[in-house]
Structure 1
Amino acid sequence: MKKQVKKGELHTNNPHKGKYDFGILGDNLPELKLFIIKNPAGEDTIDFSNNQSVVTLNKALIKTYYNVDNWDIPEGFLCPPIPGRADYIHYIADLILKKKNVNVLDIGTGANCIYPIIGSQTYDWNYTASDIDPKSIDNAQKIINSNKNLKNKIKLKLQNDKNHIFIGIIEKKDRFDLTMCNPPFHSSLEEALNANKRKVDNLNKKNKTIKKGLNFGGQKAELWCSGGEKLFLKKMAKESAIFSKQVNYFTSLVSNKENLKPTIKILEKLGAKYKILEMSQGQKISRILAWTFN
């Protein structure tokens, strides 16, 4: 079952529809004004190939829309695109009718802790957030500790076994309405670097100097893993059956549509029912695969 959307349309509940209001964002976070420039049409924008500019824009967005005053990430870590991350939250909110005491598990929360921030402040969801990187957990905990409105909404767990996703995180007493995940989508550092170069090339088509490196940040666990997204999804699907009675809906982003079929094949063998939710950010269509054993 697939729900389709028109290109360029964010979810109707997403507050980031339309262009950024740099006037409001700059007023809420004055340091953003240092990075605001004019595009060829004379409109306010920032240099999206500059990681510092993007991080500062994120600080302004998170403060303005999610009441989180203190947010930052270490240098070199993944800086998430807020509108797209918010879209995932709003689409999976449509899967459940429950409005109160919703418990969500975020797999691979990263140093930015962005999904728990958006979900807790938008829908008042309670989060357990896991990651395999101790540095990511440490920074996410700093964000939580420095914002009172996050302290009682987000609990962090370190995944100590790189070979597992849910095992070691979900305990016998746990019950989750939803799980969510943005899997590492590359299978190697080289693949991640090449993908980043293409992204930067697109942003700098009119510039003579192409900036090198991971301009949008990203550590190993955030961007690549052995076997890439395909193997990660396969492992997630198989492990989900173990916790079928403790979770209502399992969900994951799927970056490469070619990875849908093999994952769905596994889910069908396991007896799960699934949905494919399509999201659109600009010209890009991305997918959420959601499944349940209930």
Structure 2
Amino acid sequence: MNPRHRSKKSQAKPIRKGLHPRNRHNQGYNFPTLVKSHPALARHVKPNAHGDLSIDFADPLAVKMLNAALLKHDYQLVDWDIPEGALCPPIPGRADYIHYMADLPGLDQPGIKLLDIGTGASGIYPLLACQIYGWKCVGSDINPESLANVAAMIDKNPSLQGRITLRRQQDKNHIFSGIIQPGEFFDLSVCNPPFHASPEEALKSSQLKTSNLALAPTLNFGGQGAELWCKGGEQLFLKKMVRESQVYSTQCRWFTSLVSKADNVKPIKKLIRKLGALDLREIEMKQGNKITRVLAWSFL
């Protein structure tokens, strides 16, 4: 079924605030159905304070089991798994990013090729892009263990084989260089950049979040090393990405990235304009009370 064409019955259902209209998670989570798809989720599902079935979203294992169930039930992907401590992405939000990118000019055609910068151990953007839109993808990462984990998942899912290629970034000082090959063209690049400047800053942020929620100090979505922090934090990473994107301006139609810190949007947009981008867009994705921003720019 073409994901752009939903049935009248589906359209009649109430849409969850903010999620993209094509997002399969607009109606929330059907836990009994998810448990049938992935029985290991069952022991984590309990009534919450309102009497509704839910999980403890502060429990990393519960979140991982929910992800595995969602990917199996909604995207027909089996045996999704990540190593202990790896970043565990929220599936509805990651799907939203892919859906909003599919709305960019020039991306509503067959044969789209996506580049994921920092694909991580989850490989979530290539997995979703393949299953939702049938795109071909390249996932890059500096961590060989992360790439090995994604490769193992590709091996277990025939629908992904031949559609996702993995490449290791050998130089931590580069983003596109060493990944985009001579004569190669991508329709889109996506990225969820590291947002802290040091391990200490990442830990402090985690402790602040958990203290506000009166929870034990744990990272409910995990994350380690290059997934969470880099020298200079998110802003320096994004500046490096934007400058390097100019070098590859004719080899990618749309460069895009999540921007988690609102204060970083203005200076990055200023740099993009300075470097001569012909199109620049700021896209807001709303998931409940949370607003996530994506910057998309093109030199073509």
Partner of 1:122: 132
Partner of 2:281: 275
Judge conservation of contact 1:47–1:53 (CA < 8 Å) in 2: yes
| 242-251 vs 264-273, greater mean Cα deviation | 264-273
Q: In structure 1, the residue corresponding to 2:115 is in which secondary structure?
A: strand
Establish whether residue 105 from structure 1 lines up as the match of residue 115 from structure 2: yes
CA offsets 1:230-256 (integer angstroms, 9 cap, x no match) = 000000000001111111000000011
Judge conservation of contact 1:200–1:215 (CA < 8 Å) in 2: no
The normalised TM-score by structure 2 is 0.92
Q: Take 2:17 and 2:290, find their aligned partners in 1: how far apart are those partners?
A: 8
Partner of 1:3: none
Shift >6 Å, 4+ stretches: none
CA offsets 1:252-276 (integer angstroms, 9 cap, x no match) = 0001111111111211111102000
Judge conservation of contact 2:126–2:137 (CA < 8 Å) in 1: yes
Q: Take 1:18 and 1:196, find their aligned partners in 2: how far apart are those partners?
A: 29
Q: Take 1:189 and 1:18, find their aligned partners in 2: how far apart are those partners?
A: 36
1:1-294 → structure 2 map (5 Å cutoff) = 8-95=17-104, 96-203=106-213, 205=214, 210-272=215-277, 273-294=279-300
Q: Take 1:276 and 1:37, find their aligned partners in 2: how far apart are those partners?
A: 38
Runs of at least 5 residues in structure 1 that lack an aligned partner in the other structure: 1-6
Q: Take 1:248 and 1:40, find their aligned partners in 2: how far apart are those partners?
A: 47
Judge conservation of contact 2:210–2:218 (CA < 8 Å) in 1: no
Calculate the aligned-residue CA RMSD, in Å.
1.4
Alignment size in residue pairs: 284
Judge conservation of contact 2:194–2:234 (CA < 8 Å) in 1: yes
2:110 is aligned with what amino acid? Answer: K
Judge conservation of contact 1:51–1:217 (CA < 8 Å) in 2: yes
2:47 is aligned with what amino acid? Answer: K
1:91 is aligned with what amino acid? Answer: Y
Runs of at least 5 residues in structure 2 that lack an aligned partner in the other structure: 1-15
- Identity over the aligned pairs, expressed in percent? 51
Q: Take 1:190 and 1:216, find their aligned partners in 2: how far apart are those partners?
A: 17
2:75 is aligned with what amino acid? Answer: Y
CA offsets 1:6-64 (integer angstroms, 9 cap, x no match) = x9310111111132100110111111111101111111001111111010000000001
Judge conservation of contact 2:140–2:179 (CA < 8 Å) in 1: yes
| Cα distance change on mapping 1:255 and 1:68 into 2, 3 Å | same
Q: Take 2:54 and 2:212, find their aligned partners in 1: how far apart are those partners?
A: 16
Judge conservation of contact 2:114–2:137 (CA < 8 Å) in 1: yes
Q: Take 2:112 and 2:238, find their aligned partners in 1: how far apart are those partners?
A: 24
| Cα distance change on mapping 1:202 and 1:67 into 2, 3 Å | farther
Judge conservation of contact 1:159–1:168 (CA < 8 Å) in 2: yes
Judge conservation of contact 2:211–2:217 (CA < 8 Å) in 1: no
Judge conservation of contact 1:193–1:213 (CA < 8 Å) in 2: no
CA offsets 1:265-293 (integer angstroms, 9 cap, x no match) = 21111110200000011111111100000
Does 1 or 2 have the higher relative contact order (CA < 8 Å, sep 6+)? Answer: 1
